[in-house]
Structure 1
């Protein structure tokens, strides 16, 4: 084995190439050019092959052919990098590093490529793993806190899945390891969602959920996720200022709200609709319920019949207490509010029209094969849109289901495809507002009428630090609900101050609205002996429903008295006046 020792130069490379052409040296007797500058580095010539070789601690590593490494300087640099890896005792890693370098990658790129291969082989998390595990393993499960067990946040879990798996997100981050992501990657997703698609909410929510998910992965699964040695760069990723919502100040005035409620009760079929299907009484009641209770739509419409109790120790008979599902409350606290007697009459109205077999106070209309479910949180909003004359599609008839869902059916009849004018706006003159804005109306009107601020906050379930309501399970028992309702932390008497003032003002405004539009608030009179007492109230458009139920209760047969004939005469006079009208 002839060996030439020298500080290798281009002349030695040329000599090695000439030796390879002659095929003079074999694998048993190769020609070696050993480099005196870099220990262990040499050129081996055997047959027609010229290869750079590195020997270190009894191991030999091929660095590449002469065609791949064209200069001694490049060979020495690669030898230093490879020796560092071999010093750690990882031979396979050194071999893969050398292959990456021979493929033309820089040292840093080769190291990253090797680390990426190792991470994939060991099961380190990719983006899709995070997008699945964070909502499934964290948000969808109960969590123990210093205040007790925090129920799962199913709504947040659903949103996290949507925003972390968005098509734009997957285009940028799909298939990539968490450990190799950078702040610029998140910013690219954030900016494309807003700049290219104008999706403010998606851009803002991606930043929020991705940052929270990465912090969770590093905090709870640092080793498995590959984030153990990664700095928390994601917490510095900021939302675009253009995507941050401006605080809302809009809310319907009390008189406008009364008008909306009257119109919803009076116009079950919006004028001009192709489909003349009436809005169900359950849907109309849902709007009244949110207006009277000032609760968020999600929690307000998921109330079950079992969660309504009589209020023992109420200031007067007829008060009820309603509790709201913990998993639907934004603050994840058990919440209960007292319902004044007049507002409690709505519970009787709902019982007349709602499905008695449903466990929900506001059940959705069941289709064949569907289970029991509450109304969609969008139902009251869609009701208001219909009253505003939401434009109909020129080629599609919009079938408006009682549960507020929309199903589009292509119309075969040519007459349904002709151009139609805009539908009548029954709420003309009332500024646009959302169902959530009713909470702002409640707070504003109560504040203007000198209601205590803590009473308002308590009804709205705002976290003001003064209420430390206990956390409960997602499906508490009837006994647990009863105990928590009367727990001191619920402060029903305080909440009753705001609820009584608000309901009195709203019903007063509704009475005035009905009178202004030809309605009459007739005085209740007892029925005469022998008269048939109806099994349920007979609702009339010209009179508010709560007055009808009130009169129905007042008309229940009572013992005869000396004033009976006078009452009967007055009652007939009222009925005759109603008929003449």
Structure 2
């Protein structure tokens, strides 16, 4: 029932709006039955959305304490579309968006073309950091985590003293955070960062004190961005800093799952056989599938592996080892902070290279990454590997998705993560008394001697190769 307001104001009726209410409004206008000055139908299902009915029109409005924005004519914009526009206006970033103008553009394009997609593209274009230049993104946003870290360190490091000024940045550039460097700051959430924290705590080579510094400095960095660069970080509407819930007191269970060689082989076969998991799903890109093969074949940390550059790979590096290649990684992406190199046998190299060639054929160009992303010009994200494994298990956001088959269960594969492959390799070689080989492959250190002596031999070969290619390759043989 409509509630009459003061003289000269609109009658109000608060209801969960339906299409029937819209039809009723149009009928009232047609029959000249609009009461008084008019009627406001307030939608209880969408904050601030009002259908204002006057003698001549029924118009969608979005009302708030800061003012009223006209969304458009209800003859052009449906209830569902009006709710979507009201939510976009609510979340609009001050200084970046002009809701009144964007709502006007949306209505006009929708009226002219009838295409909601065209109207959204014209009024609310999606921000894609991968299509921007780094300079434009840094100036206008949206910032990715790498932008925020760079800006924060520019501000923070000059305020530090002594060795702390040198060591402080290494924690914010930990491989676990480097893997998120191209993720927009506003897209980060507690679930993603809990995963980072868990991996830090489960990794035996990361001391608890170091894990605490990584998490604490991430929190400090996010707080600085929230307070000082909220517009560029798109954090204007964040009222409570979710990152304050991150601590290192979380006691996660120790992972002890070691996938068998058969399980890993079945996974690769399933991933190749089911590159497309449905009509609404994108097929697995060549770069991502190549990265999954590389994880299984090399057991390297995914954060470093996915960033492998073609220029860092040397096919046929030794005449005495026909077909063998060497893959190298700079210290900046390695957990040990030292360069690391890995000889790869011909069969493994052929598979990895095959997918890079497939990507090049599809684009008619070679890109500088061994594992190029299907989107943009960058490399695949290590998160994409985890997401692929989840899709094969029929999971969405960690839970079984309706109508999606669990291919792991179907083919007798226990759940595993990329890091489990490293544990599996260490176990496999350790049982054969080849623990030193496992340490070299995994870039682990061993013993209690001086750090230089404890560094795995393969790492030292690559360091030597950077100074003298002949010396390094002879050592690797």
TM-score band, normalised by shorter chain? 0.3 to 0.5
TM-score normalized by the length of structure 2:
0.46
**Greater Rg over alpha carbons, structure:** 1
> TM-score w.r.t. structure 1 length?
0.38
